[in-house]
Amino acid sequence: MAAFYRASLADILGHSTDEILGALLRSYQHNELQKRQTKAWEIEITVLKSASAELLRLAPGAANWSLLLEYPIPRRSKRLDGVLLAADVILCLEFKTLDKTHTPQADRQVEDYALDLRDFHEASRDRRIVPVAIVPKAAPVENSSDRIHSEPVRDVMHASASDLASVLLSAFQAEHRDGSEPIEPTAWERSPYRPVPTIIEAAEALFAGHNVREIAHSHAGAVNLTATSDRLVEIIQQVQSHGEKVICFVTGVPGAGKTLAGLNVVHNPALRREGRPAGVFLSGNGPLVKIVSAAIARDHKRRARETGGERTVGTFIQNVHVFVRESLEKADKPPAEKVVVFDEAQRAWNADQNRKKNGL
197 Cβ contact list (under 8 Å, min separation 6): none
Task: Determine the residue type at 347.
Answer: R
pLDDT of 76 reads 84
Domain with CATH 3.40.1350 in the chain: 5-189
Q: How far is residue 305's CA from residue 286's CA, in Å, rounded to a whole number? A: 27
- Closest residue by Cα to residue 71 from 155, 188, 183, 169: 188
Instruction: Spell out the per-residue pLDDT of the chain, length 360, in tens.
Output: 566 789 999 999 989 998 898 888 776 655 555 666 888 999 999 999 999 999 999 999 999 999 999 999 888 888 999 999 999 999 999 999 999 999 999 999 999 999 999 989 999 998 999 999 999 999 988 887 655 556 789 999 999 999 999 999 999 999 999 999 999 999 999 898 888 888 888 778 777 765 554 444 455 566 788 889 899 999 999 999 999 999 999 988 877 788 888 888 998 888 888 888 889 999 887 777 777 777 777 766 665 555 555 667 778 888 888 888 888 877 777 888 999 999 887 778 888 988 888 777
Q: How far is residue 297's CA from residue 20's CA, in Å, rounded to a whole number? A: 39
Q: Domain 5-189 belongs to what architecture?
A: 3-Layer(aba) Sandwich (3.40)
225-263 tens-digit pLDDT: 888 989 999 999 999 999 999 999 998 887 778 888 888
**Any bridge partners for residue 6, and if so which?**
68
N-to-C CA span, the chain: 12
279-336 tens-digit pLDDT: 999 988 777 777 777 777 776 666 555 555 566 777 888 888 888 888 887 777 788 8
pTM of the entire predicted model: 0.79
* Phi-psi label, residue 83: left if phi above 0, alpha if psi -120 to 50, beta otherwise: beta
